[in-house]
Structure 1
Amino acid sequence: MNIKVLDTTLRDGEQTPGVSLTPLEKLRIATKLDEIGVDFIEAGSAITSEGERESIKGITQQGFNAEILSFSRPLTGDIDYCLDCDVDCVNLVVPTSELHISDKLKTTPDKLIELSNAAVDYCKDHGLVVELSAEDASRSDVDFLKLVFENAIEHKADRVCVCDTVGILTPDTSFELFSKLNDIKVPVAVHCHNDFGLAVANTLSALKGGATEFHSTINGIGERAGNTSFEECVVSIDRLLPEFSTNVKINEIYDISKLVARSTGVYIQPNKAIVGENAFAHESGIHSDGIIKNSATYEPMTPELVGRKRRFVIGKHMGTHGLDNRLKELGLNVDKNQLQQICNDIKDLADKGKTVTDVDLQAIADNVLEINHEDRIKLDELTIVSGNKVMPTASVKITFDDDEILNAGVGLGPVDAAINALKTLEVFSDVDLIEYHVDAITGGTDAFIDVIIKLQKGDKVVSARGTEPDIINASVKAYIAGVNRLLRD
């Protein structure tokens, strides 16, 4: 059975505290959602503001394959704004629990049904597709919920949706609830929230119970603990529920996950399923050994399935097989005894609480192999000028091979100025700084600062570290160390 996917990143996802997307950001996300095969895109809530309406109009004008919706209350004013935005469909949200009807709307169940029916009629009279969403359905009387749905269907509603608004379903109760709705004559959707961490599990159970559509957000963003995670649900359907399928291009999931993370500023926890940076990372020696022999031993899917790459992490849990694989990637061939010595040295370093980077690994391996590299770039002088009314300015003097080079740069702060002074030099021009992390190793204002960076040149990525009491010196030394490493490679 083909399951339809409604993405509400641009509406429910944007309700994440602190998130406010620009029209251009919304359009970029909607464009990618359409490209990867999402069936329905909830572009926003037209009643919200003029800016929101402009965003929705920008999306509806694109001629996407996906059906474009707007959220709406069962009020003609809300629906008129949806019509102004030229959406295909209205997600008509009607509360169905006694709590919401009596305490929020201050009305009665009978009047609620009248309100719902009138709103559906108004939508259909104006040529809109209607998905009627029952808010707080999971705390509603099932018979009353069905009565609301049946009335809406009599008034030509096209789809209905059961909303677990406060995330109180469990997989068992979700399956039971949707099984009771199997006699509904139109497609039934599920919309779950993640307050107890069960949104994906409840959504999958709803599909097994008879739902044929699910609502989700990219990376599971949304109010409070968020919504059903799009990527987790789509991949789970593909890999774990062979009786179901979606139209989503799974190999592009990571791309849209990163796009939404960058646009919203809600970054992804490293251990998040499917799209987290550690989802396909291996440090354990047992796991690395198994992965090298057959990836299925410790991976339920290949990383390429979702647009990812596997990586082996250097650390005290690493075994010799994974380490040997990483050394070969760095162009280093070692014998059995050398490999074991490098492994022991890494464990000693990690036991001291130190993060083991590629630069550390290179240094350890060089020491074991008695290889001494002469750095081509050396920092001779670094001068910084900064203050309340002075644009941070840096001058650097370096020796590159046998040539002395003097350069200057400005930036938002002294570290930025120092790096900019280097980046404008030809030797640094094709190197991108892709990650920058700072830790204070000790306490106090004279603390040692540990700067860890990642640099990229073409398809090569290296890590580098600088440790100094001065954050500027530490940053510059880390940057130059990384570039020296790239030049050696």
Structure 2
Amino acid sequence: MKNIETLKKENMNLSEKIYIFDTTLRDGEQTPGVALTVDEKIQIAQKLNNLGVDKIEVGFPASSKGEIESARKIKSLDLDSTLVGLSRSLKSDVDAVLDADLEYIHTFIGTSPLHRDYKLKMSKSEIIAKACEAVEYGKDHGLTVEFSAEDATRTERDFLVEVYREVVSSGADFLDVPDTVGILTPILTHELITDLKDSFKIPLSVHFHNDFGLATANTLTAIECGVNQAHVTVNGLGERTGNCSLEELVMTLKASYDIDLGLDTTRLYSLSNLVGRLTGVKMPVNKPIVGANAFAHESGIHVHGILNNASTYEPMSPEMVGHSRRIVLGKHTGANALKSKLKKYHIDLNDKQFEKVFSEIKSLGDSGKCVTDDDLVAIAITELGSARETPIIMKGLSISMGGNVSPTATVKLEIDGNEKEASSTGVGPVDAALNAIRLLVKDTVDIKLEEYNLEAITGGTDALAEVFVISSDSDDNKSTGRSTNQDIVMASILAVLDSMNKLLLIKRA
């Protein structure tokens, strides 16, 4: 049976050099609702350059003076990446690229029947004439010229080949194949690119859109067929559903194809975050490579494997892309994951304490809550500080509120094995419950609440409430009490009871 490496060599026509052409600053900025300032474009361009991409399409100079200004400023940075300007097949657009002080032009014109008849209203011969004129004009002015036949994948194959043949004769340096509305599938991509590679010897480039979620898959197929360059955007941004994702393509080539493009992939995560912040387009948590959950694990089975060897459930290490691994706590959490988390925070629990914390985590998970690290630390510290013996045990609680009537709390406690129940009112439900507890314990321990602190561990309406109290008795003994619970009233009661139990143990000792 042939191994994967053998199959790669036999079945792929890989180019010796694969160029990464990033168009985040042009097509990415065409994402609905996105508009970047000059300074923001500069920040992104610098990060793309530091990553090591070969080419950066800095914008569409003919569209505005601001585009020319930003292109000039980026050019003044003297970056290693080649800077590119977009241009329609118009001399005025080419002049705008020259005015922006750029040396590489990406010029295009629609070639499909839809574009010819409904957008351009031009004949085939007029399309070819315009395309060639722009290419020749760019070459006459010393530019490197990349030509795109817009909507190439819906263009008649014989006409597409004719257009490309004519622009090559006019001096084009790169031929780009745009899947403008993302209709390709990997099989169709293979057929199209193989055909074009057989027809042309100059470098081929692809610019694939993601309307059906296939942009990265189709780009990989094109690379397998020998294309020399791929157009990408950070986070897959772009018109409608976007373009081939830079981070997905680069890491798939590196991890699955063993193709190292010479990029510093450890910068991918920070680049993604910067672009997400500047554009306002945040990535879904399950976005491959850079999503918050890309290296997050909750299932006990998965975490057990990860802790022994991360490769069991990760195709690459998070460090390869500048990301980090997260062990998430919830109802699927296993004991190994919890022990790992506690070790991380230097919290040492005995077996009984561990079981109580583990049970609490599971219970919170069953209630639909994702337990954060802060939640865990609060629960574990509460358990560590709780009284080891509990003469007073909570058995029941009910709160009634309505209209202008003060809240009434009915509390049932077990005190030294005997159950007692009492009701009381208060200025709020917590006050009412504590007043009822005082009535129940007055013959056992006389307490005074010295300090009461309430804090939400994390944000959101389902945040755990952490209550910390200090109580004193008639002999001026003092003790602390702590509790974490999703219910503020219950957290308060349990904290006070924890403090009471400690005072009782002190008194009886």
- What is the deviation of 1:110? 1.2
Q: Verify the 8 A CA contact 1:7 1:216 in the aligned structure 2.
A: yes
Superposed counterparts of 1:364-375, under 5 Å? 364-371=379-386
Q: Distance in 2 between matches of 1:84 and 1:151?
A: 27
Q: Provide closer, same or farther for how the CA distance between residues 148 and 467 of structure 1 changes in structure 2, counting only shifts above 3 A.
A: farther
Is 1:229 the counterpart of 2:245 in the alignment?
Answer: yes
Query: 1:404-443: per-residue Cα shift (whole Å, max 9, x none)?
Result: xxxxxxxxxxxxxxxxxxxxxxxxxxxxxxx98544x6xx
TM-score (norm 1): 0.76
- Identify the residue that residue 13 of structure 1 maps to in structure 2: 28
Q: Verify the 8 A CA contact 1:438 1:451 in the aligned structure 2.
A: no
Q: Provide closer, same or farther for how the CA distance between residues 364 and 207 of structure 1 changes in structure 2, counting only shifts above 3 A.
A: same
Q: Secondary structure at the match of 1:100?
A: helix
Q: Distance in 1 between matches of 2:369 and 2:79?
A: 50
Q: Secondary structure at the match of 1:180?
A: helix
Superposed counterparts of 1:164-179, under 5 Å? 164-179=179-194
Q: Distance in 1 between matches of 2:237 and 2:371?
A: 32
TM-score (norm 2): 0.73
Superposed counterparts of 1:427-442, under 5 Å? 437-439=459-461
Runs of 4+ in 1 over 4 A off after TM superposition: 464-469
Specify which of 230, 241, 262 is matched with residue 214 of structure 1: 230
- What is the deviation of 1:348? 0.9
Q: Verify the 8 A CA contact 2:135 2:171 in the aligned structure 1.
A: yes
Q: Verify the 8 A CA contact 2:328 2:372 in the aligned structure 1.
A: no
- Identify the residue that residue 328 of structure 2 maps to in structure 1: 313
Specify which of 36, 50, 66 is matched with residue 51 of structure 1: 66
Q: Verify the 8 A CA contact 2:374 2:458 in the aligned structure 1.
A: no
Superposed counterparts of 1:339-358, under 5 Å? 339-358=354-373
Q: Distance in 2 between matches of 1:89 and 1:467?
A: 63
- Identify the residue that residue 91 of structure 2 maps to in structure 1: 76
Q: Secondary structure at the match of 2:196?
A: coil
Superposed counterparts of 1:191-202, under 5 Å? 191-202=207-218
What amino acid is aligned across from residue 308 of structure 1 in structure 2? H
Specify which of 14, 38, 45 is matched with residue 53 of structure 2: 38
Q: Provide closer, same or farther for how the CA distance between residues 357 and 156 of structure 1 changes in structure 2, counting only shifts above 3 A.
A: same
Query: What RMSD, in angstroms, separates the aligned Cα atoms of the two structures?
Result: 2.1
Specify which of 289, 293, 296 is matched with residue 278 of structure 1: 293
Q: Distance in 2 between matches of 1:270 and 1:359?
A: 20
Q: Verify the 8 A CA contact 1:320 1:340 in the aligned structure 2.
A: no
Q: Distance in 2 between matches of 1:253 and 1:158?
A: 29
- Identify the residue that residue 387 of structure 1 maps to in structure 2: none
Specify which of 273, 279, 301 is matched with residue 258 of structure 1: 273
- Identify the residue that residue 114 of structure 2 maps to in structure 1: 99
What amino acid is aligned across from residue 348 of structure 1 in structure 2? S
Specify which of 257, 263, 277 is matched with residue 241 of structure 1: 257
What amino acid is aligned across from residue 218 of structure 1 in structure 2? V
- What is the deviation of 1:35? 1.2
Q: Secondary structure at the match of 1:223?
A: coil
Superposed counterparts of 1:170-189, under 5 Å? 170-183=185-198, 184-189=200-205
Query: 1:118-174: per-residue Cα shift (whole Å, max 9, x none)?
Result: 111100011111000111111111221111111111111100100000000011111
Q: Provide closer, same or farther for how the CA distance between residues 333 and 36 of structure 1 changes in structure 2, counting only shifts above 3 A.
A: same
- What is the deviation of 1:362? 2.2
- What is the deviation of 1:369? 3.3
Q: Secondary structure at the match of 2:197?
A: coil
What amino acid is aligned across from residue 77 of structure 1 in structure 2? S
- Identify the residue that residue 414 of structure 1 maps to in structure 2: none
What amino acid is aligned across from residue 156 of structure 2 in structure 1? D
Q: Any unmatched runs of 5+ in structure 2?
A: 1-15, 388-456, 466-483, 490-509
Q: Verify the 8 A CA contact 2:330 2:361 in the aligned structure 1.
A: yes
- What is the deviation of 1:467? 7.8
Q: Provide closer, same or farther for how the CA distance between residues 366 and 95 of structure 1 changes in structure 2, counting only shifts above 3 A.
A: same
Q: Distance in 2 between matches of 1:436 and 1:101?
A: 57
Q: Distance in 2 between matches of 1:79 and 1:437?
A: 53
Greater mean alpha carbon deviation, residues 225-234 or residues 342-351: 342-351
Q: Provide closer, same or farther for how the CA distance between residues 21 and 467 of structure 1 changes in structure 2, counting only shifts above 3 A.
A: farther
Q: Secondary structure at the match of 1:47?
A: helix
Q: Secondary structure at the match of 2:161?
A: helix
- What is the deviation of 1:371? 4.9
What amino acid is aligned across from residue 332 of structure 1 in structure 2? I
- Identify the residue that residue 333 of structure 1 maps to in structure 2: 348
- What is the deviation of 1:189? 0.5
Query: 1:284-320: per-residue Cα shift (whole Å, max 9, x none)?
Result: 0000000000101000000111111111001111101
- What is the deviation of 1:368? 3.6
Q: Distance in 1 between matches of 2:295 and 2:485?
A: 24
Superposed counterparts of 1:113-128, under 5 Å? 113-128=128-143
- What is the deviation of 1:233? 0.5
Q: Verify the 8 A CA contact 1:91 1:132 in the aligned structure 2.
A: yes
Number of residue pairs the alignment of both structures matches: 386
Q: Distance in 1 between matches of 2:487 and 2:101?
A: 57
Q: Provide closer, same or farther for how the CA distance between residues 221 and 182 of structure 1 changes in structure 2, counting only shifts above 3 A.
A: same
Q: Any unmatched runs of 5+ in structure 1?
A: 373-434, 442-449, 453-463, 470-489
Query: 1:273-294: per-residue Cα shift (whole Å, max 9, x none)?
Result: 0000110011000000000001
- Identify the residue that residue 44 of structure 2 maps to in structure 1: 29
Q: Distance in 2 between matches of 1:229 and 1:437?
A: 32
Q: Secondary structure at the match of 1:176?
A: helix
Percent identity between the two aligned chains? 46
Specify which of 49, 63, 88 is matched with residue 103 of structure 2: 88
Q: Verify the 8 A CA contact 2:330 2:369 in the aligned structure 1.
A: no
Q: Secondary structure at the match of 2:172?
A: coil
Q: Distance in 2 between matches of 1:466 and 1:321?
A: 25
Q: Distance in 2 between matches of 1:356 and 1:27?
A: 39
Q: Distance in 2 between matches of 1:352 and 1:28?
A: 43
Q: Distance in 2 between matches of 1:7 and 1:468?
A: 51
Q: Secondary structure at the match of 2:71?
A: helix
- What is the deviation of 1:370? 3.9
- What is the deviation of 1:349? 1.6
What amino acid is aligned across from residue 137 of structure 2 in structure 1? Y
